Amino acid sequence: MKRILLVAGARPNFMKVAPIMWEMAKSSQECEPILVHTGQHYDVNMSQVFFDELRLPAPHENLEVGSGSHTWQTAQVMLRFEPILLKYRPDWVIVVGDVNSTLACALVCGKLGTRVAHVEAGLRSFDRTMPEEINRLLTDAIADLLFVTEESGRENLCREGIIPDKIHFVGNVMIDTLKLLRPRWEGSSIFRRLGLDPAHPYAVLTLHRPPNVDDAGVLMNLIKALRELAHHLPMIFPVHPRVKCHLLSQGHLVWSRLDSGESIPRKGLVGLDPLGYLDFIALMSRARLVLTDSGGIQEETTVLGVPCLTLRETTERPVTVTRGTNRVIGTDPGRIMDETLRTLDQPPRPVGSPPLWDGQAAARIVKILLDQSG
């Protein structure tokens, strides 16, 4: 029996780990999954709610790292992960995505000679000012198996000199979760609890990347443009905890509380506490438009067929532009205004899901791992 240790650290990781855990449960005679939560995200709304909704087992280990600078957080994960690796001595470690925990655990595996597989390998924005880009590059250089979500991932890895035999095009585990949980998110009560008529047009907004939210001037320019757009339709904004206090203190949001009995206003920028997975996907699935700086949301909107405007200068997921509903528009307020109004007037037409985004990526990953000798 192979012992396979899976690492989850931050909110985006849980939706990627979940389908792999579900698939491994079908192969319980062949593999023993060990789940390690680094605690990079630890707030109930950013962590525990996902374990509950995704029906993940309690982690075998929780490193409880918490917040800190990128360097501090990466170092703390490494220090706390090493004893875990020595304790369990797994046959494989699976790291997912591009957060600090992904790189930190891959580095420890490299130092101790433990085989590591990277799920969502090969994605490149070609912008090294993004901490996630550094995490991707270094994790892929260390990994023994690289599971890619789109053909650009394979091309990037080959260009960087990765041995082709290490690279496997398996599809997208985020889409596995989206498809497998469709009956549950379609049954979400979020519209009733928000007092929102899903037939009335609305947009969804997310912002969390440091270049957009840590500089007060940049953030205020964005919010000014978005508030202007919210005169056309309500813009529902689940707010990252570190952004909430600043925006509330400046009076830029109408704050809404779930189950308050009050209806969402027909216009305006409406702030919410972070939502769980099922509520958020339900809300996004019926939106006229999504504006975001998230990577995963670009993928989810592509499969849902919802227009997406990415508030960044680059994307590491080009298939969401070439085959999906995503456009990368940057952060210039004037362009955001123009592109949003154009998209509302002439929404893009989906051309179908990218290759292998069929809900079977986790099954391919587990089969490849179990087929590996040793």
H/E run at residue 118: strand 116-121
Tell me what pLDDT residue 328 has: 97
Catalytic residue among 70, 208, 232, 252: 208
Tell me what pLDDT residue 43 has: 53
Which amino acid is it at 310? T
Question: Nearest-CA neighbor of 26 among 374, 373, 360?
Answer: 360
CB of 309 within 8 A of CB of 340? Answer: yes
pLDDT tens digits along 74-130: 999 999 999 999 999 999 999 999 999 999 999 999 999 999 999 999 999 999 999
CB of 354 within 8 A of CB of 150? Answer: yes
CATH of the domain spanning 2-171+357-371, picked from 3.40.50.2000, 3.50.50.60, 3.90.1580.10, 3.40.50.300: 3.40.50.2000
Residues 169-183 have a mean pLDDT of: 98
Average pLDDT score, the chain: 91
State yes or no: pLDDT of 345 exceeds 50: yes
Cα 203 to Cα 201: distance, rounded to the nearest angstrom: 7
CA torsion angle for 252, 257, 262, 267 (degrees, to 10)?
A: 30
Tell me what pLDDT residue 42 has: 53
200 labelled catalytic: no
Cα 150 to Cα 173: distance, rounded to the nearest angstrom: 12
Residues 174-203 have a mean pLDDT of: 93
H/E run at residue 111: helix 100-112
Cα 218 to Cα 50: distance, rounded to the nearest angstrom: 31
| Between 33 and 246, the higher pLDDT residue | 33
Backbone angles phi, psi at 145, to 5 degrees: -130, 140
pLDDT tens digits along 14-45: 999 999 999 999 988 899 999 999 987 555 44
Q: Kindly state the percentage of the chain with pLDDT values over 70.
A: 93
Cα 252 to Cα 111: distance, rounded to the nearest angstrom: 48
HSE-up of 237 (CA within 13 Å, CB side)? Answer: 29
Question: Where exactly does CATH 3.40.50.2000 map onto the chain?
Answer: 2-171+357-371, 187-345
Residues 161-189 have a mean pLDDT of: 97
CATH architecture of residue range(s) 187-345 = 3-Layer(aba) Sandwich (3.40)
Question: Nearest-CA neighbor of 110 among 134, 73, 85, 128?
Answer: 85
Tell me what pLDDT residue 41 has: 59
Cα 4 to Cα 24: distance, rounded to the nearest angstrom: 9
Select the highest-mean-pLDDT range: 44-58, 126-140, 202-216: 126-140
pTM summary value: 0.94
